[in-house]
Structure 1
Amino acid sequence: MKRKSLFVSVALLCLAAIVSVPGAYAAGSETSNRTICPRYPAGSSLVEPKDLFSSHGILQVSFTYETRVDQYGNVLYCFMSEDGSQSPTLHVRPGDELLVKLKNALPPSTTPSYQKHAMAGMSTLPEFSISGQSHEASPNCGGMVMTDTSTNLHYHGTNTPPICHQDEVIKTLINAGETFQYDVHFPLDEPPGLYWYHPHVHGISEAAVQGGASGAIIVEGIENINHDVAALPERTLIVRDNLVPGAPNADDVPAWDLSLNYIPVVYPEYQPAVIPAKPMQKQFWRVVNAAADTILDLQVQYDGVAQDLEIVAIDGVPTGSQDGRSGGRTLSRKHFLLAPAARVEFILRAPPKSVKNATLLTLNVDTGPDGDNDPQRPLAAIKVSDAAKNPSLAVGAVSAPPPLHMRFQGLSEAKPVKQRKLYFSEVLTDPTDPNSPTNFFITVDGATPTLFDPDNPPAIITTQGSVEDWTIENRALENHEFHIHQIHFLVLERDGKPVEGEYRDMINVPFWSGSGSYPSVKLRMDFRGPDIGDFVYHCHILGHEDSGMMAIIRVLPQGRPTQ
């Protein structure tokens, strides 16, 4: 089972204390009759998030960040819209501007001793230009002091600038009672597909995401790259995790319960959500693993027989679209491993009426001797009926040829200017006490393992326009998940063996057995885009990231020296 750091354990206790203050939930409800952070009964029919669409190149959204405690004692968090909807799906197009007004409506922190002057001494960059605008890497963005009620937003997977008021998470703090404006610019060559948004304050990101504060972002236009999805009924499925009520101690208990679109799938009953469909109907499913810590291995079974998932996109990138072809390529798989924060988009044909049990499930994932228990369990039952209503959305018709220039075009043939090795590792804070908290590290080979702190200097410095090959090793006895902000990478090898390249922003690195070679992946990192400045890479098991497994990379404008 999972071992939390002392810092994270204390943070969770503080958060629970804050939202349990008498009147805290009532105070959040006084201004309207809304239900804060609503949840659905187990076994409910799937409810799609509300869809918000850009118009004339702009999508404008107002959120309040809110919290309450549910009947099990779990602390919930959510982004609520002005109309009372929760975590809507944000639809944009390449080149669009996303304007998000975010008010942190959490009650003020009651634990001032927890405050951390996270921005003090932050290193800065000389002034440089991004997208024609002068920019200076200032030592803070928003609040100066981090508390246990701070929040911010990360636009996961998007290739958007790491600057204040866009997709910057190292320095950005929005504290209780504060309002902050995001103005996020999507590049013209942003791949059409599925992305998502969630808080990313180091030390409390796990609690926020497990509380449910997350939603999907869809960059439109995938039908123009892969015609197979054109006009298909479309579903957005968001898997989240949370604490198992009562935290029972037994071998068959999962490390975390799961939910699908806020419909709980609770141990031990595992009553699945219900997805209606017409018999034999093709649907286009977009699935994001928005779990903080749980690794999924998705499969669809009809009467116990695994079905083909016709995969169209992975981590927001249409499959086959970046390898010199004129359009995308559909890949057939019987199951798909979905690391925390990863996304997969696929076509599925509903079963005929003769099928008695049609199930979307996650298979058992062996995460290693020190890892979580991620057992097999259902997520949804697919119920077919001639009277089943279609999803509220359908993919558009083909309206344009594939783009002449794809964002990562030519990456597989590009010559890397640098080879690096990084590794995941763990160590007990007290090696003599097996129950002491664990520190988690991601380290450039040859450097000293260092817990993340926003005051740390960059662990890696590179230059815009460069391409690098990174080998990521796992030297720990549990799985870790590599993610880097702002860019995608091309997967080249697993354990030294070439693989068919996929463009991703998430990759699972399996656990080390304790002897022999370390499991590894080799990735081609693409810094040829416009984004410069400081951003982060980390394990996206958020309990590990909160406990130190993150570091800073600095991308300098072309012509600057690197290290």
Structure 2
Amino acid sequence: MSRWKRVLIILGSVAAVFLAAVGSLFVVLWSGAEVSTVGKVEFRNELKVPPLAKSVVEKDGTRVFDLRMQAGTTEFEKGTKTPTWGFNGSYFGPTLRAARGEKVRVRVSNALGEASSVHWHGMHVPARMDGGPHQEVAPGKTWTPNWKVDQPAATLWYHPHPHGKTEQHVQRGLAGMFLIDDARATALKLPKRYGVDDVPVAVQDVSFDGAKFDHGKVFLQNTGFLGERTMVNGTLDPYKVVGDELVRLRLLNASTARIYDFGFGDDRDFALIGTDGGLLEKPEAMKRVQLSPGERAEVVVRMRAGERAVLRSFPQSNYGDGFEQRFAGGDDSFDVLELRAAASLRKSPGLPGALGKLEVPQEKDSVRGRFFGLRMSGINGKKMDMGRVDETVTRGTAETWTVRNEDGVPHNFHVHDVQFRVLAVDGKPPTGALRGAKDTVFVPGGSTVKLAMRFDGPADPDTPYMYHCHLLYHEDLGMMGQFVVVEKGQQAGRPAAGDHAGH
């Protein structure tokens, strides 16, 4: 008996030491998981403003752009060259700009060593022009989508969408903005001089391992890439000198997994004037705007002569449970961009009281509802299959989609081709930026959102659009489904496995 007692005492001691070690390790990991650059950024680099893409207008009025996906090196820090990808350059891409009613054609060439694609995020386009995984472009080939711009003025963007590799391709630098103008927005007295008082602000989080991009912290979380620094338009530690009283920032969360809650370091108010799908009906005074990957917001901030204002991302409390909050980035904070007002500022007219009218349906317009359960294992229990049509919708009809986060991991939900109205969040009316037209919405752990959207076609039973989580690691794991738009009474076809040839 004494021998067994000794064995049990030894085993108990070993177990106690093991549990103590594990507990200590967890405490260390917990305390070290929070990331903050607040007060630590020197803002020593002038913000790069992506150039407006050159275009030519053909005799029939079609505006033609050229985009070239290519590899290169970029000096984010002086003297250190980092291998990167970009459009028409080594990192990121030019800003495309077109007006409502224009016909657009983009010649997309692939100079990379592998297939990729270009998706027009937020754009209403025919399915064959959407740039999803079915429209991959093989190395050395060119894809030339064309469409007529038919949506309100908005801040959109473009990025790759290859099946299973989207996070990697975006992280390497393939992204850019696409701005839509229309007569109503142009007539409004809003800041509109590109790069002067109307500034693109594409925010990405990064980590560096020497001259190479690292994959960020991944231990104890399954969100995807989470970097320890941020950059704007490919600029580390950026500042922007401004010469106007009112400055419009077109915020884009171009990160692959990180969620930001933007505001200013001195907690000043700003005016939210636009969301994913365009202008709000009227400006709304706010102190914070939360953007998950893929979401956009247009804000206007008032500056005083000679002052500095720091755009900051604040900690957030709506990720789900405490574990996800800590290890998926909810407790993190970043100093993102410093605005430096000139010694004297040009006068800016006050913001208009009315901006426009949302072109998204109400719930009463819906002819049917659908449910989408989000889990790491897939949507509605199914992983993405490029040969399977998951949903079939009728052209010209509106529907209500209910989306629920069922596994507690932070997710969001993006629907190609459409803009939607957020009807409810956990049964309550939407507030803030969720009151505008949206194509991407954050769905925290345990939350449910209801969305109303209309499918205006054109019908194409054989070519699908995507819906998916826009945390790109999740998308690449299979959190994506496909829908086709058909005429009334028409059946869905069978999509091809993918067109990699280019045309």
Deviation at 1:182, TM superposition (A): 2.3
| Aligned residue identity for 1:88 | P
Aligned partner of 2:251 in structure 1 is 287
> If the length of structure 2 is used for normalisation, what is the TM-score?
0.75
> Are positions 1:558 and 2:492 aligned together?
no
Aligned partner of 2:343 in structure 1 is 386
In structure 1, distance between residues paired with 2:290 and 2:93: 25
Q: 1:360 aligns with which of 311, 319, 322?
A: 311
> Are positions 1:80 and 2:8 aligned together?
no
> How many residues matched?
420
Counterpart mapping for 1:37-186 below 5 A: 43-52=44-53, 57-68=61-72, 75-80=83-88, 87-107=93-113, 149-163=114-128, 166-186=129-149
- Report if the CA contact (8 A) 1:199-1:208 is conserved: yes
SS at match of 1:381: strand
SS at match of 1:544: helix
Deviation at 1:558, TM superposition (A): 2.7
- Report if the CA contact (8 A) 1:160-1:531 is conserved: no
Percent identity, please.
23
| Aligned residue identity for 1:207 | Q
- Greater fraction helix: 2
For structure 1, list consecutive stretches of 5 or more residues without a partner in the other structure.
1-40, 108-148, 265-271, 321-328, 427-439, 444-448, 512-517
SS at match of 2:475: helix
SS at match of 1:422: strand
In structure 2, distance between residues paired with 1:214 and 1:157: 14
> Quick one: structure 1 residues 402 and 258, their matched pair in 2 at CA, closer, same or farther if it must change by over 3 Å?
closer
> Quick one: structure 1 residues 407 and 510, their matched pair in 2 at CA, closer, same or farther if it must change by over 3 Å?
closer
Aligned partner of 2:398 in structure 1 is 467
SS at match of 1:206: helix
In structure 2, distance between residues paired with 1:248 and 1:202: 22
- Report if the CA contact (8 A) 1:153-1:169 is conserved: yes
Deviation at 1:509, TM superposition (A): 0.5
SS at match of 2:105: strand
Counterpart mapping for 1:251-400 below 5 A: 255-256=226-227, 257-264=229-236, 272-278=237-243, 281-301=245-265, 305-320=266-281, 329-353=282-306, 355=307, 357-366=308-317, 367-368=319-320, 369-370=323-324, 372-373=328-329, 375-386=332-343
SS at match of 2:145: strand
| Aligned residue identity for 1:291 | S
SS at match of 1:171: helix
Aligned partner of 1:191 in structure 2 is 152
Root-mean-square deviation over aligned CA pairs: 3.3
| Aligned residue identity for 2:242 | A
> Quick one: structure 1 residues 197 and 247, their matched pair in 2 at CA, closer, same or farther if it must change by over 3 Å?
closer
Counterpart mapping for 1:206-217 below 5 A: 206-217=167-178
- Report if the CA contact (8 A) 2:191-2:246 is conserved: no
SS at match of 1:47: coil
In structure 2, distance between residues paired with 1:350 and 1:412: 37
> Quick one: structure 1 residues 311 and 407, their matched pair in 2 at CA, closer, same or farther if it must change by over 3 Å?
closer
> Quick one: structure 1 residues 453 and 314, their matched pair in 2 at CA, closer, same or farther if it must change by over 3 Å?
same
Aligned partner of 2:9 in structure 1 is none
Map Cα deviations across residues 167-213 of structure 1 (whole Å, 9 max, x no partner): 141311212222222223312xx110100011100111101111111
Map Cα deviations across residues 211-234 of structure 1 (whole Å, 9 max, x no partner): 111110110137637824165621
Deviation at 1:550, TM superposition (A): 0.2
Deviation at 1:505, TM superposition (A): 0.2
> Are positions 1:242 and 2:206 aligned together?
yes
> Quick one: structure 1 residues 73 and 202, their matched pair in 2 at CA, closer, same or farther if it must change by over 3 Å?
farther
> Quick one: structure 1 residues 441 and 244, their matched pair in 2 at CA, closer, same or farther if it must change by over 3 Å?
farther
- The structure having more radius of gyration, on CA atoms, is 2
In structure 2, distance between residues paired with 1:152 and 1:561: 28
Aligned partner of 1:504 in structure 2 is 438
Aligned partner of 1:419 in structure 2 is 369
- Report if the CA contact (8 A) 1:161-1:168 is conserved: no
| Aligned residue identity for 2:65 | V
Map Cα deviations across residues 411-442 of structure 1 (whole Å, 9 max, x no partner): 2263322122211113xxxxxxxxxxxxx411
| Aligned residue identity for 2:328 | D
Map Cα deviations across residues 496-548 of structure 1 (whole Å, 9 max, x no partner): 1223543200100112xxxxxx3111111222454554211000001110011
Map Cα deviations across residues 429-464 of structure 1 (whole Å, 9 max, x no partner): xxxxxxxxxxx4111xxxxx1211212x21111211
